[in-house]
A and B are shown apart, each in its own frame.
Chain A
Amino acid sequence: MNIAQAFSYPPILRGFLALLIAGCFFPMAGVFILRLNLVTLRFTLMHAALLGAAIGLALHVDPLLAGLVLDLGAIAAIARVARESGLTLGYVATFFMVLTIGLAFAVIYKAGVPSKDAFGILWGSVYSLSRVDLAATAAYALAIAIFVTVLFPRVSAVLFHREIAFASGINEPAITTAILLFVGMSVALLMKLIGALLLDSILLLPAVVASFTARSARGFFVQACMIGAFCSVAGFFSSLALDVPASSAVTVIAACLLGAGLVYRRIARRRS
């Protein structure tokens, strides 16, 4: 099957477009995760999504929608508790990570939800996306792009130092909450797109590679997005050419780029 033939199938075309959009824009959320040390939060959101899926299946509601709602609820709760308690986001996220997975298993057991169906939310497929999924991915990508570009000075101030941002007159709590919401949305959408276990290839790895080469905050965002786009497109076509799952092809390419980035950094450090 050649490329033109492949694109004549709507699921493949939708999958390609979704991967391209995600690759171009979602690494912005990866930059947030890296800078604010939100790696724990990313796992919390996976667990919260699992709890949402379990509740959704128990109540006969769309599990993806329920997972998304639980993710957003978890984000709001984490931001509030961290602010009120003075604890770091990492500590609070760890608490919710453990709580949500515990509750998820309790719901699965008590409501008699088939665990295979609940855990299904952790596995994504670019070829199973509906038009609504694609539209949601595009709308979200537009939202994060507008957020970062229009509010760039304020966002970068918060990324630099939250207290300094506040002292500079920025509404730091609002920007931080928005950042957390964007991270939550990215994780939720990528779980549907390529699955929870592989979402780092689009979310985090491009940002990590960009951190080796960028020389300014603006450059960091731009390079992360360019690397994400490359991984998505190259991964998609590799998957067609080699007949392997698109998500694993994207992940392997992102991992190779990370390896190249590490070598580049080592050489650059030796020279300096």
Chain B
Amino acid sequence: MAQPEPCITAENITVAIDGHQILRDLSFSVRCGERVIVAGPNGAGKTTLLKVILGLQRWSIGTLWVLGAPVGTREWSRRRRKVGYVNQEAVSVDFPFSGREVVEIGVSALSLGKREKKKRVQEAIAAIGCAHLQRRMYARLSGGEKQKLSIARCLCQDPAVLLLDEPTSSLDPVSRREVIDILRGLNERLGMTIVLVSHDSQVLAETTWRIERMEAGSFA
């Protein structure tokens, strides 16, 4: 059987911020449908790597392809909606968003009719099992509940790749288990590529995913 195509290919990426090299000559490849954990201590450059893949952080040297398109090009701009992103900590907002409104962000940029968008939101909420959080105020939810809504938000985008930055760092063991199980399910049922950044030793111990260790801006 042929190997699946690479979903993310980074070659010799270097990122420098204020004169400090955050990523050094980093090369990295993830095949479609893979589950990868990028592990490493704080300051290793894990979050920067995700931001580079998302196009949120510029790099000075190297090439980066995501879903077959060079990042930063017009072609990539069209495909970047297929990359979902759950950030480090559940966003803390002193603003009255409802749970449903947070999930709706996932469909906000899609060229779909109102009915189709509503259906996508409903399906994503049902898939993650967070229907009971729809009407509650986001700011008053627990870290685990917020992360579930974040994953539902990404699901609405119908992503091919899901990037998660320390999604379990502030969660209790039960919530952490739930989030990992949800991610495993998404990968197994939908073939979604998952790249999870974590320094949580429990996550590393509990999963059998491919683990890449980062240290001082490159892979060890």
Bound: A164/B85 CA distance, A = 7
Chain A interface, DSSP helix/strand/loop, else mixed = helix
Please list the residues of chain B having a beta carbon within 8 angstroms of any beta carbon in chain A. Answer: 51, 54-56, 80-81, 83-85, 87, 91, 93-98, 101-102, 104-110, 137, 153, 157
Contact with B along A151-177 (1 / 0, CB 8 A): 001101101110111111111000000
Cβ B105 vs Cβ A169 within 8 A: no
Please, how many residues of chain A have a CB less than 8 angstroms from a CB on the other chain? 26
**Residue A232 at the chain B interface, CB threshold 8 Å:** no
Residues of A within 8 A of B93 (CB): 160-161
Residues of A within 8 A of B97 (CB): 156, 160, 216-217
Bound: A159/B104 CA distance, A = 13
**Residue A215 at the chain B interface, CB threshold 8 Å:** yes
Using CB atoms, name the residue of chain A closest to B94.
A211
Given contacts A161-B87, A169-B81, contact A217 B108 (CB under 8 A): no
Distance in angstroms from A38 CB to nearest chain B CB is 14
26 contacts between A and B (CB under 8 A): A154-B108, A154-B109, A156-B108, A157-B105, A159-B95, A160-B91, A160-B93, A160-B97, A160-B101, A163-B51, A163-B56, A164-B85, A164-B87, A165-B108, A166-B54, A166-B55, A167-B54, A168-B81, A170-B109, A171-B109, A211-B94, A214-B96, A215-B98, A216-B96, A216-B97, A217-B97
Residues of B within 8 A of A163 (CB): 51, 54, 56, 85, 87
Cβ A211 vs Cβ B101 within 8 A: no
A sample of 14 more A-B contacts (CB under 8 A), given A160-B97, A160-B101, A167-B83, is A35-B95, A154-B108, A156-B101, A159-B95, A160-B93, A164-B153, A165-B105, A166-B55, A169-B80, A169-B157, A211-B95, A215-B98, A216-B96, A216-B98
Distance in angstroms from A170 CB to nearest chain B CB is 5
Given contacts A161-B87, A220-B95, contact A215 B137 (CB under 8 A): yes
Cβ A153 vs Cβ B157 within 8 A: no
Cβ A211 vs Cβ B96 within 8 A: yes
